[in-house]
Amino acid sequence: MRYCILFLFIAKICLSFAQDLPKGMTPYEKNLLPSYNYPFKQSDSRDYNQFFNPPTSNHIRNMAEWEESGGYLVTYTSYKSMVREIIKYGKQECRMYVVTDNIGTTISDLQSAGIDTTNITFLNAPFNSVWVRDYGHNNVYLNRVDSLVFVDWIYNRPRPKDDTLPLALAKNMQIPVFLTTQSPYGFVGTGGNWMSDGMGTAFSSKLIIDENKASGGFGVNHTEAEIDTIVKNFMGITRYIKMETLPYDGIHHIDMHMKLLDEETLLVGEYPQGTSDGPQIEANLQYVLNTFKTSYGTDWRVVRIPMPDDVGKWPSNGGDYLTYTNASFINKTIIVPIYNETEDTTALRIWREACPGYKVVGINSNPSIPASGALHCITHEIGATDPLLINHMRLRDTYNTQNPYMVAATAHHRTGIDSIMLYYTTDTNSAYQSIPMFDVFGDHYEAYIPAQPAGTEVFYYIQAKANSGKQQVRPITAPKGFYNFKVLSTTANEELQNTGSEIQNPFPNPSKGITCLPVNTLSSQKISITLLNTLGEKVQTIFEGETKPGDNKYFTHTQNISAGVYFVHYKLGENEIVKRLIVR
């Protein structure tokens, strides 16, 4: 009996000291897991406005991290020097929610560091650890933008206080919570192993499959198809991309080596060739690039950023898992981990070039990185309660010097859109010119930038105003930040000579009936033409076969296709081209 008492005493001690808990499981927690009783298995649906069935809505949508945040969440315990820096910069962008077990001591500690309590809400709630990214809530909107709700998974650690924090936050903010904690929807997840593009696509490592099997030890048992159904019903995820786990990343969280910067851009950590997890990261990236398009049906843009060594060591030979991708968007600020390494300067430059207009701040993350976590791991965004959502497929570099450049965007607000404007310039030191964007159908807007001569670089952004008066820009940092594309010097005829083909725009566009797809080739080539929806899913195969030299015209009939935005995907040899097609 005394050994049982001693065991329970040790258990209580281990779960009490948050500062001693790493991001991964302790040996004690691994032993505890088979007998651990997750706190929500017996939750009372009358508490905290919580629900155990999926939300019902016309369009459930998981928020992307670069969208507008109404607040930002940290737990004030371990690595306080880092958390104080996060609070200092975060409170300039939105309300900070600081979880603490002693509000008075926390306020005194912040004041000693020169941080006042303006724009801070202190939440006195139980917790076990600092890793709020992993055990925190998920931001989900019903009817795309109408109302914010939280979705809370079973946390993949036997830490009962951490597992209850989303409910404490929801109660404080009076936000409904949907829980994937009871059969048949019991689902185990962790925020560090999740990326969402805000348009229905999400990424994880295959840890998500392993932990939701019966052998995972969490009291659930799901096939991959069942996992996909749960995240679709609760999160609005219609395409769930899962990548192989890495050999030397002990926690298998993708935020340690990869991050979405927008709907089309992947920031990917890069090791020296053949080093540590580098080969598997590259294999995973190539799998994504060759298998999936963006939610717009375009090829992914990839930004590489170094994975620094730990005083000459890598994770494969005992070094800590230093990373620059484990960063966080806090509205117009991006906090990036730094380590007093020579690569810090390069990493911050890459972030600033990839995300123009953002305030990019480096925060020393040496205190936390031995526990396999940095800034993204100890922060969590809270969605805005009144979002104005703008989605835009950025324009790419072009050879076109003759025809105007169509800029298309969707905009949504719970009160509807009053107006939307396109601003562009060819010189960021000069004023932007404005062009009204017109609603071509149901929240889809278009405007045209005039054709520009070769050698021009065009900078642009979009601004929308809701009927309520709410305004938003995209990118969120505009006009300081912008989208840009270059008008290249090669002419269309030279393009034809260099690539062997010229893909012209479909017409009529918008379409409702017979639509022509012109293709000009110098010689006979294999070609496939498919129509994709905005999720990158195939709607129809238009043509597969051989072109003939010269002008080729292919046709599709859109009479029986639902109105919306589609993409015509052409593949000729090694070349892939996407053209937008609107169906009325």
Task: Find out whether 539 and 561 touch, Cβ atoms under 8 Å.
Answer: yes
Q: How confident is the model at residue 401 (pLDDT cuts 50, 70, 90)?
A: confident
Supply the pLDDT for residue 536: 76
Read off the pLDDT of each residue in 300-308 and give the average, rounded to a whole number. 97
| Helix (H) / strand (E) containing 478 | none
pLDDT over 50 (residue 15): no
pLDDT of residue 506: 87
Predicted pLDDT at 16: 39
213-230: per-residue pLDDT in tens?
Answer: 999 988 899 999 999 999
Which of the four pLDDT bands, split at 50, 70 and 90, describes residue 190? very high
Instruction: Answer whether residue 467 shows pLDDT above 60.
Output: yes
- From the list 528, 505, 515, the residue with the least C-alpha distance to 560 is 515
Which among 181, 169, 88 has a CA at the least distance from the CA of 136? 169
Confidence of residue 48 (pLDDT cuts 50, 70, 90): low
- Our measurement of the distance from residue 45's CA atom to the centroid of its chain's CA atoms, rounded to an integer in Å, reads 30
**Chain Cα centroid distance, residue 437:** 27
Handedness of CA 69, 72, 73, 74 (dihedral sign): positive
Tell me what pLDDT residue 192 has. Answer: 97
Return the pLDDT at 45.
52
Say how many CA atoms lie within 13 Å of 163 toward its Cβ. 21
Average confidence (pLDDT) over 350-375: 97
Could you tell me which residues come within 8 angstroms of residue 170 by beta carbon, excluding any fewer than 6 positions away?
48, 49, 50, 137, 150, 176, 177
Predicted local confidence at residue 514, as pLDDT: 81
Name the pTM for this structure: 0.85
Look up residue 399 and give its two tokens: 């050879």
The stretch 530-535 carries a mean pLDDT of: 85
Question: Which domains are present in the chain?
Answer: 9-38+47-383 (3.75.10.10), 389-486 (2.60.40.650), 499-583 (2.60.40.1930)
pLDDT at 503: 85
Q: What is the rounded distance in angstroms from the CA atom of residue 364 to the CA atom of residue 62?
A: 30
Alpha helices per DSSP H over 392-433: none
Confidence of residue 39 (pLDDT cuts 50, 70, 90): low
* pLDDT above 70: residue 40: no
**CA–CA gap between residue 149 and residue 50 (Å, rounded):** 10
Beta bridge partner(s), residue 299: none
Mean pLDDT across 250-259: 97
Mean pLDDT across the chain: 90
CA dihedral 155, 373, 314, 268 (to 10 degrees): 90
pLDDT score for 488: 87
3-state secondary structure of 35: helix
3-class DSSP state of 449 = strand
What is the model's pLDDT at position 480?
A: 96
Among 378-382, 451-455, 511-515, name the most confident range.
Answer: 378-382
Helix (H) or strand (E) holding 235: helix 224-235
Nearest to 297 by CA among 577, 582, 584: 577
Phi, psi of 61 (to 5 degrees): -140, 120
Mean pLDDT along residues 465-489 = 96
Beginning with the edge strand found earlier in the chain, give each strand of the sheet holding 359-364 in spatial order: 328-330, 333-338, 359-364
pLDDT of residue 9: 35
The least confident of 79-93, 200-214, 488-502, 548-562 is 488-502
* Best CA proximity match to 281, nearest among 298, 258, 250, 297: 258
Q: Is the pLDDT of residue 474 over 70?
A: yes
Task: Specify the 3-state DSSP secondary structure of 458.
Answer: strand
DSSP letter at 141 equals E
Rounded mean pLDDT of 570-579?
82
* Cα–Cα distance, 227 to 421 (Å, whole number): 40
Q: Name residue, tokens 């703008």.
A: 390
Q: How far apart are CA 69 and CA 380, in angstroms?
A: 10
The pLDDT value recorded for residue 44 is 53
What is the rounded distance in angstroms from the CA atom of residue 55 to the CA atom of residue 140?
Answer: 10
CA distance to 119, 263, 449, per residue, from 472 (Å): 21, 17, 21
Instruction: Tell me the torsion sign for CA atoms 535, 540, 542, 545.
Output: positive
Among the ranges given (3-17, 102-116, 227-241, 249-263), the one the predictor scored with the smallest mean pLDDT: 3-17
Residue 46: pLDDT band (50, 70, 90) is: low
Instruction: Calculate what percentage of the chain has a pLDDT beyond 70.
Output: 93
Give the model's pLDDT for residue 36. 76
Distances (CA, A) of 352 to 334, 335, 359, 486, 581: 9, 11, 8, 19, 33
Q: Is 392 exposed, middle or buried (0-12, 13-18, 19+ CB in 10 A)?
A: buried
pLDDT reported for residue 41? 47
Query: What local confidence, expressed as pLDDT, does residue 12 receive?
Result: 41
pLDDT grade for 4, boundaries at 50, 70 and 90: very low
Q: Is the pLDDT of residue 453 over 60?
A: yes
Does residue 579 register a pLDDT over 70? yes
